[in-house]
């Protein structure tokens, strides 16, 4: 989830009466705690590979949370000189936990069991969702403007967020049942209660079929080549190709003219295809092969069109 939502939830947690002993800056402490796991984006300064592999890794895991909580609480307690250490510890624990509560329901998932690189994600909500800003930002602000206590306004915002989670979960369950065959589904970008669904190809299935789903409709949205074949094998045998495949939710082959180890392969991720431009893919790569090996790779940030 993007950091504005993390900041809003952390702020609301800090405004709850249960954390009043931390003092008047409890909301600021909650905001910092809720965002701290994303400090791992600094790993991109080392290099892109390290940043890609390790984002949502240690700092987002059950091993990292105690380290961040204990250290963060010590810093805020000594800096603010308010309350007891355990008061700060409780707020930091809640703030750090809130980060996972926002990340796990999104598409890309979180490495909760790091160093195991499996990602856990419910795929209910897109990583940018204006409903979070309304629930955690606008609603508590409006209630406070009408004379409500900040703690009560914060509780209302958190409750509104929980209701939105429930609506999204129910909506996805209904949407998946609209598909004519078993599918996986991820939230469509900036399209609430809409999902991009796709089949998971078995050993004998050369195709991936895509659908646009809502709780009340299903629209076929194209058939694609499953990620297999000599070109794909050559790609995933490289470090960069292995990383690309690991990052993809639903990789498919958009173009394949590889013959006897020579040619081009274009791979895209259906999970990030847009409802606004159905044949445009934000995340994909163009690989050129020669002699059975990948000799060039491009397309990290360019849009690829079918």
Q: Is residue 25 part of a domain?
A: yes
17-29 tens-digit pLDDT: 999 999 999 999 9
User: Distance (Å, rounded) from C-alpha 54 to C-alpha 63?
Assistant: 14
CB 108 within 8 A of CB 121: yes
End-of-domain residue from the set 171, 198, 223:
171
Q: Which residues contact 191 (CB under 8 A, 6 or more apart)?
A: 126, 275
Task: State how far Cα 38 lies from the chain centre.
Answer: 12
| pLDDT tier, 306 (very low <50, low <70, confident <90, very high otherwise) | low
Q: Are residues 59 and 125 in the same domain?
A: yes
Q: Is residue 176 part of a domain?
A: no
Closest CA to 121 of 98, 100, 99, 97: 100
SS3 186: strand
User: Distance (Å, rounded) from C-alpha 143 to C-alpha 213?
Assistant: 35
Q: Are residues 230 and 298 in the same domain?
A: yes
The pTM assigned to this predicted structure is 0.89
| pLDDT tier, 304 (very low <50, low <70, confident <90, very high otherwise) | low
End-of-domain residue from the set 171, 196, 221:
171
Q: Is the pLDDT of residue 73 over 90?
A: yes
CA angle 240, 104, 120 (to 5 degrees): 55
User: How many domains does the chain divide into?
Assistant: 2
What is the reported pLDDT for 77? Answer: 96
Task: Tell me the mean pLDDT in the region 193-206.
Answer: 91
Q: Are residues 163 and 256 in the same domain?
A: no
**Percentage, residues of the chain above pLDDT 90:** 65
Q: Is residue 139 part of a domain?
A: yes
User: Whole domain around residue 23: which residue ranges?
Assistant: 3-171
Q: Are residues 95 and 8 in the same domain?
A: yes
Q: Which residue has the higher pLDDT, 50 or 197?
A: 197
Q: Are residues 218 and 252 in the same domain?
A: yes
Q: Are residues 199 and 285 in the same domain?
A: yes
Q: Which residues pair with 288 in a beta bridge?
A: 264, 296
End-of-domain residue from the set 105, 138, 171:
171
Q: Are residues 106 and 207 in the same domain?
A: no
Task: Tell me the mean pLDDT in the region 181-200.
Answer: 91
| pLDDT tier, 218 (very low <50, low <70, confident <90, very high otherwise) | very high
What is the reported pLDDT for 305? Answer: 65
Q: What's the farthest any 2 CA atoms get from each other in the chain?
A: 73
If 0-12 CB within 10 Å is exposed, 13-18 middle and 19+ buried, where does residue 298 land? Answer: exposed
Q: Are residues 80 and 197 in the same domain?
A: no
Cα dihedral 175, 180, 186, 189 in deg (nearest 10): -80
Q: Are residues 95 and 150 in the same domain?
A: yes
Q: Is residue 77 part of a domain?
A: yes
Q: Are residues 16 and 158 in the same domain?
A: yes
CB 174 within 8 A of CB 189: no
Q: Are residues 160 and 205 in the same domain?
A: no
Which of 36-45, 214-223, 295-304 is predicted with the least confidence, judged by mean pLDDT? 295-304
90-138 tens-digit pLDDT: 999 999 999 999 999 998 788 899 888 888 889 999 888 999 999 999 9
CA 249 → CA 184, 186, 199, distances in Å?
10, 9, 12
| pLDDT tier, 213 (very low <50, low <70, confident <90, very high otherwise) | very high
Q: Is residue 207 part of a domain?
A: yes
Q: Are residues 90 and 167 in the same domain?
A: yes
């Amino acid at each position: 989830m993007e950091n504005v939502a993390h900041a809003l939830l952390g702020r609301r947690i800090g405004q709850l009466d249960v954390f009043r002993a931390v003092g008047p800056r409890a909301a600021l402490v909650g905001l910092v705690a809720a965002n701290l796991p994303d400090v791992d984006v600094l790993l991109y300064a080392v290099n892109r590979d390290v940043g890609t592999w390790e984002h949502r890794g240690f700092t987002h895991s059950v091993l990292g949370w105690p380290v961040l909580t204990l250290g963060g609480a010590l810093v805020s307690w000594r800096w603010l000189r308010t309350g007891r250490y355990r008061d700060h510890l409780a707020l930091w624990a809640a703030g750090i936990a809130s980060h996972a509560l926002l990340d796990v329901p999104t598409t890309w998932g979180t490495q909760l069991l790091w160093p195991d690189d499996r990602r856990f994600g419910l795929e209910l909500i897109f990583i940018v969702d204006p409903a979070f800003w309304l629930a955690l930002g606008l609603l508590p602000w409006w209630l406070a403007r009408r004379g409500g206590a900040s703690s009560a306004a914060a509780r209302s915002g958190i409750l509104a967020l929980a209701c939105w989670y429930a609506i999204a979960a129910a909506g996805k369950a209904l949407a998946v049942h609209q598909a004519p065959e078993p599918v996986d589904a991820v939230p469509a970008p900036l399209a609430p209660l809409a999902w991009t669904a796709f089949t998971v190809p078995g050993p004998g299935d050369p195709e991936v079929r895509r659908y646009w789903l809502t709780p009340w409709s299903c629209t076929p949205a194209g058939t694609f080549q499953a990620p297999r074949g000599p070109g794909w094998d050559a790609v995933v045998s490289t470090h960069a190709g292995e990383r690309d495949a690991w990052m993809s939710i639903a990789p498919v082959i958009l173009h394949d003219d590889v013959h006897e180890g020579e040619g081009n392969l274009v791979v895209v991720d259906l999970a990030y295809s847009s409802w606004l431009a159905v044949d445009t893919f934000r995340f994909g790569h163009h690989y050129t092969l020669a002699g059975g090996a990948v000799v060039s790779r491009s397309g990290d940030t360019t849009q690829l069109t079918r």
